[in-house]
Amino acid sequence: MKEKLLLLISLQECDSQLVKLSLKKVKLPEKICKMEDDFRLYKESVEQNKRKYEELKAQRTECEATVKKLSDGMIKTRERLLEVKNNKEYQAMLKEIETSEKTRGDVESRIIVLMDEMDKLIVLVKKDEETLKQAESNHEKEKKIIEDDLNAIEADTVTWTEKRAVLAKSVSADLLARYERIRKRNNGIGVIPVWKAVCKGCHMNIPPQLYNELQRSDELLTCPNCNRIMYFQNQEESS
Ligand SMILES: [Zn+2]
Q: For the segment 114-143, what is each residue's pLDDT rounded down to a tens digit?
A: 999 999 999 999 999 999 999 999 999 999
In this prediction, residue 87 carries a pLDDT of 94
Kindly tell me if the per-residue pLDDT of 239 is higher than 70.
no
Task: Give all domains of the chain, ordered by start, each with its CATH number.
Answer: 29-153 (1.10.287.1490), 173-233 (no CATH)
Ligand 1 centroid to 198 CA: how many Å?
A: 8
Per-residue confidence (pLDDT) for residue 1, from 0 to 100: 61
- pLDDT tens profile 201-226: 999 999 999 999 999 988 899 999 99
Tally Cβ neighbours within 10 Å of residue 170. Answer: 13
Please tell me the pTM assigned to this model.
0.69
Residue 49 identity: N
Q: How far is the CA of 221 from the centre of ligand 1 (A)?
A: 11
Distance 115 CA to ligand 1 centre (A): 75
- Higher local confidence (pLDDT), 1 or 175: 175
Average pLDDT of the residues in 145-170: 96
Q: Quickly count helices (H) and strands (E) in the chain.
A: 6, 3
CA of residue 223 to ligand 1 center, whole Å: 5
Quote the mean pLDDT of the chain.
Answer: 95
Task: Tell me the residue length of the chain.
Answer: 239
- Note the pLDDT tens digit of each residue in 62-74: 999 999 999 999 9
- Please determine, for residue 75, whether its predicted confidence score (pLDDT) is greater than 70: yes
Q: Tell me, what DSSP letter sits at residue 171?
A: S
Instruction: Give Cα separations from 239 to 190, 234, 236 (angstroms).
Output: 21, 9, 6
Q: What is the dihedral of CA 181, 182, 186, 187, to 10 degrees?
A: -50
pLDDT at 167 over 80: yes
**What is the whole-number distance in angstroms between the Cα of residue 96 and the centre of ligand 1?**
96
Contact 184, 13 (CB under 8 A): no
List phi, psi (to 5°) of 232.
-80, 130
123: CB partners within 8 A, 6+ apart: none
Q: pLDDT digits over 188-200, tens only? A: 999 999 999 999 9
Amino acid at 202: C
Question: Which amino acid, residue 154?
Answer: E
Kindly state the helix (H) or strand (E) to which residue 155 belongs, with its residue range: helix 87-170
The better pLDDT of the pair 236, 173 is held by 173
